[in-house]
């Protein structure tokens, strides 16, 4: 018998990131990226960037992933999305991206953009599955190896389509 998505992801929840999450986020960040952000960068995002929204994904109360975006007028720009290695391969990155998309749609964003390494075909396939389309390259975007970044854009679902799912993150505006 195949597990339903809800049963498979039971015990997982989402909430807004807080300053107290930064030590756990740093563990995820260093596992996921060759150019990790510093704890100071996350503090700055949470305390000083009025355009930033960061979510934490928890498994039974333990942070196992996070995602962030900047919201500018009616567009969302994904800054980072990452899952602990031990939790990868279980479609949790997809679930985290869904939550980020839903949050952006609920905030009235109509489009979303991101950059992804041209070598990261796994992420590219996920983004394409969610409606993102490649629109160009940023040459030498990544400073560690000067790899190009693929620029991707997607139209977001309207608030009514996405905004009523139980368990979604609420944003106080």
Q: Which residues are catalytic?
A: 115, 127
Contact 37, 44 (CB under 8 A): no
Instruction: Look at phi and psi of residue 60 and say left if phi exceeds 0, alpha if psi is from -120 to 50, else beta.
Output: left
Give the separation between CA 16 and CA 68, rounded to whole angstroms. 10
How far is residue 68 from each of residues 4, 42, 52, 77, measured CA to CA in Å? 27, 10, 7, 8
Work out the end-to-end distance of the chain between its first and last CA atoms, rounded to an integer number of angstroms: 43
């Amino acid at each position: 018998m195949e597990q339903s998505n809800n049963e498979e992801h039971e015990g997982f929840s989402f909430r807004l990131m807080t300053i107290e999450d930064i030590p756990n986020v740093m563990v995820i960040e260093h596992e996921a990226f060759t150019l990790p952000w510093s704890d100071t960068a996350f503090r700055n995002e949470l305390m000083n960037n009025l355009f930033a929204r960061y979510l934490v994904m928890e498994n039974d109360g333990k942070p196992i992933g996070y995602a962030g975006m900047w919201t500018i007028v009616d567009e969302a720009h994904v800054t980072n999305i990452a899952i602990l290695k031990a939790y990868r391969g279980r479609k949790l990155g997809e679930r985290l991206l869904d939550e980020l998309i839903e949050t952006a749609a609920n905030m009235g964003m109509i489009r979303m953009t991101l950059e992804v390494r041209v070598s990261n075909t796994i992420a590219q396939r996920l983004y394409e599955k969610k409606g993102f389309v490649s629109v160009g390259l940023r040459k030498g975007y990544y400073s560690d190896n000067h790899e190009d970044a693929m620029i991707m854009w997607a139209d977001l679902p309207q608030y009514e389509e996405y905004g009523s799912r139980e368990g979604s993150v609420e944003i106080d505006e």
